[in-house]
């Protein structure tokens, strides 16, 4: 379960204003281009900044996050209508989601505190990736 600052709409609305400089995402966009990816899964996509940026560049993007309040913000962003948003954790990832590249940005790895949680999310990423992805 995500923390209240992600799930409470009034708190989720503060995420982007408090983290306005997203130049940290440039490296992920560069990786997508370098690897020739066409389909990207962004695990724990939050307010969808990377997902929308990539969708605007023509990538087929799936954004996964358990915090519906953040996904509401993400949907309203430019290119948000081109992203497949899934509200849930790795355990909820549908089998039909396929990707060449799986991303986790903004210190997401720190969300997964137990070994079984980390195993679940990395297994889901592996299942989703095409061979060689």
Ligand X SMILES: C[S@@+](CC[C@H](N)C(=O)[O-])C[C@H]1O[C@@H](n2cnc3c(N)ncnc32)[C@H](O)[C@@H]1O
Which residues make up the interface to ligand X (CB under 6 A)?
A: 2, 6, 44-46, 49, 65-67, 70, 89, 105-108, 111
CA 25, CA 127: separation in Å to the nearest integer?
24
Least distance in angstroms from the C-beta of 52 to ligand X: 11
CA 44, CA 55: separation in Å to the nearest integer?
16
38-31-19 Cα angle (round to 5): 105
Say what angle helices 26-34 and 49-56 make with each other, to 10 degrees. Answer: 40
User: What is the DSSP code (8-state) at residue 99?
Assistant: B
Least distance in angstroms from the C-beta of 119 to ligand X: 13
Least distance in angstroms from the C-beta of 67 to ligand X: 4
Cβ distance to ligand X smaller for residue 30 or 131: 30
Cβ distance to ligand X smaller for residue 80 or 106: 106
Cβ distance to ligand X smaller for residue 110 or 132: 110
Q: Which residue is nearest to ligand X (CB)?
A: 106
Least distance in angstroms from the C-beta of 19 to ligand X: 7
Cβ distance to ligand X smaller for residue 87 or 132: 87
Say what angle helices 68-75 and 49-56 make with each other, to 10 degrees. Answer: 30
């Amino acid at each position: 379960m995500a923390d209240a600052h992600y799930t409470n709409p009034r708190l989720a609305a503060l995420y982007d204003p408090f983290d306005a400089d997203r130049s940290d995402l440039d490296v992920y966009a560069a990786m997508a281009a370098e690897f020739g990816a066409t389909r990207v899964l962004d695990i724990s996509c939050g307010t969808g900044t990377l997902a929308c940026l990539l969708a605007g560049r023509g990538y087929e993007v799936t954004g996964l996050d358990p915090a519906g309040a953040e996904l509401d913000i993400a949907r309203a962003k430019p290119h948000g209508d081109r992203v497949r948003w899934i509200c849930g954790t790795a355990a909820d990832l549908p089998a039909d989601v396929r990707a060449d590249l799986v991303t986790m940005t903004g210190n997401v790895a720190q969300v997964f505190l137990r070994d079984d949680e980390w195993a679940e999310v990395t297994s889901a990423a592996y299942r989703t990736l095409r061979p060689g992805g």
